[in-house]
Structure 1
């Protein structure tokens, strides 16, 4: 049986320009490569869930434009259920410019779209058969809808607490059963730069599981009044774009399958590491066999 996760949030068309080194000065810079990939936190998480052997339904808002049509086609081709997306005539779909260096580091400039209604609906029956939900902070109303429905059904709920306006994270994090911050998102939420201190502050105010991801340094988890550090495996990164989104998707899938917090986090760590090694946007998602093979190694 494939376990289902309902994902609410943003989908983005990434336009990726590759360089040997990231441009650091204004002016004209000649890229050595170009490609278009799917991106966006919730949509990327949904794609990763399917690649890892689960089912994913994505709910979000797109304009009735070429970018939105491209994104929907990508999602459906990769097995994500996207019939619940809200398509808005006159809306402009999200897109991003990404500069990428030879070490896999990147700079993203994200345009979140325009004329996309905050009040777009997610029907309650969307959660039929689901084992967990996931949401990002780019669509607040969508996150609140799936979190409320998950609470009513007793399902795990995961917030991808990426960087964003503090008031949005303050609003959404208490509604999630699992608030998993990026390092910058935790700073936005707490105002504290040091991750351990920031995690302790967040845990003092939030009712559920609280964690922070730290990229190649692994992640920190608040467990029974203490911090548990989970390391990440050493890999050669090709492209770190979307790795945090893959982490959240894999974590939500593991919860839907019944895993406890720390085993789910280790599963997610392996999936994110393999995504960094693979690169190649949505086409580079690791499969279940690769993740399970990495989990058998000591790291």
Structure 2
């Protein structure tokens, strides 16, 4: 673990991504020829941690892996990307998460994730790991791990970012009171509210989360919308934040990069609106570059895009 940047502790899933490149996504069942293949790291919290390290932060990751080949590969990849793995004991007989990703020429993808099996339910995260942290982040794939992180961070008054993606029933509702920055994916918001209109969904989420920290003066409630940017709940209404127009190579992991960059900006002391703009630039550059964990934008690229601006 190197660098003198702000420290962010990320808890959640790491996945070994096997990516096949196709001219177009399959219209249905059948056999299709891929013109490219790569194996890289993925998973929400782990990808967020890799993004944080690439952007100059100090990134720590805590999660669950099996004592198997994919787990060993992920640990090696995280280390090479500058992420410190903390309090992770690979489970004997456990199967690490792995995914199959189909990506088309426009950067859109179809993703199938095996979340692993035989992995521990309880988190062994040591409280001392939060020493010096400026913010924390968790995804909903490991509810017990996210809950422990958020309770420890809440006691220290640290910003707590939840990547509110699709999750097991009741998970987001249970974690909502423990986080002060709740940022949904579009599918996560649909699942949480039952509506596929982002504005109506964000309003419904705000009503359901009334009185919780995410709606407090220092908190945030939002939904990311890919190329359309994001919506943020401000003063009782959804406020849009557009994304830069870019030629997307691969959108896999862009939402995770957004959450990681957002958490890093909060750890650095930026307010939510500026943190959101920083995260938007980072996610756009990631979509433009593709290449999994190897395509993360650095700080200079993000700051250059911010200086250039976009409509």
State how far apart, in whole Å, the 1-side matches of 2:182 and 2:302 are.
23
Deviation at 1:117, TM superposition (A): 1.1
Contact 1:59 1:86 in 2 (8 A): no
State how far apart, in whole Å, the 2-side matches of 1:255 and 1:295 are.
17
State how far apart, in whole Å, the 2-side matches of 1:143 and 1:165 are.
13
Partner in structure 1 of residue 35 of structure 2: 32
Deviation at 1:295, TM superposition (A): 0.3
Contact 1:103 1:238 in 2 (8 A): yes
Which one of 134, 156, 159 corresponds to residue 162 of structure 2? 159
State how far apart, in whole Å, the 2-side matches of 1:86 and 1:107 are.
31
State how far apart, in whole Å, the 2-side matches of 1:38 and 1:275 are.
14
Contact 2:86 2:125 in 1 (8 A): no
Partner in structure 1 of residue 264 of structure 2: 253
SS in 1 for 2:167: coil
Partner in structure 1 of residue 19 of structure 2: 16
State how far apart, in whole Å, the 2-side matches of 1:85 and 1:102 are.
37
Contact 1:86 1:120 in 2 (8 A): no
Partner in structure 2 of residue 267 of structure 1: 278
State how far apart, in whole Å, the 1-side matches of 2:178 and 2:31 are.
45
State how far apart, in whole Å, the 2-side matches of 1:190 and 1:42 are.
23
State how far apart, in whole Å, the 2-side matches of 1:3 and 1:298 are.
24
Answer yes or no: is 1:6 the counterpart of 2:9: yes
> Higher mean Cα deviation, 188-197 or 55-64?
188-197
What is the alpha-carbon root mean square deviation over aligned residues?
0.9
Which one of 39, 48, 53 corresponds to residue 56 of structure 2? 53
State how far apart, in whole Å, the 2-side matches of 1:31 and 1:56 are.
34
For residues 210-249 of structure 1, the aligned pairs below 5 Å read 210-249=221-260
Alignment TM-score, normalising by the size of structure 2: 0.95
Unaligned segments of structure 1, at least 5 residues: none
State how far apart, in whole Å, the 2-side matches of 1:39 and 1:5 are.
18
Answer yes or no: is 1:104 the counterpart of 2:111: no
Deviation at 1:164, TM superposition (A): 2.2
SS in 2 for 1:172: helix
* Residues matched between the structures, number: 299
Answer yes or no: is 1:120 the counterpart of 2:131: no
State how far apart, in whole Å, the 2-side matches of 1:193 and 1:99 are.
24
Partner in structure 2 of residue 190 of structure 1: 193
Partner in structure 2 of residue 175 of structure 1: 178
State how far apart, in whole Å, the 2-side matches of 1:123 and 1:151 are.
15
SS in 2 for 1:93: coil
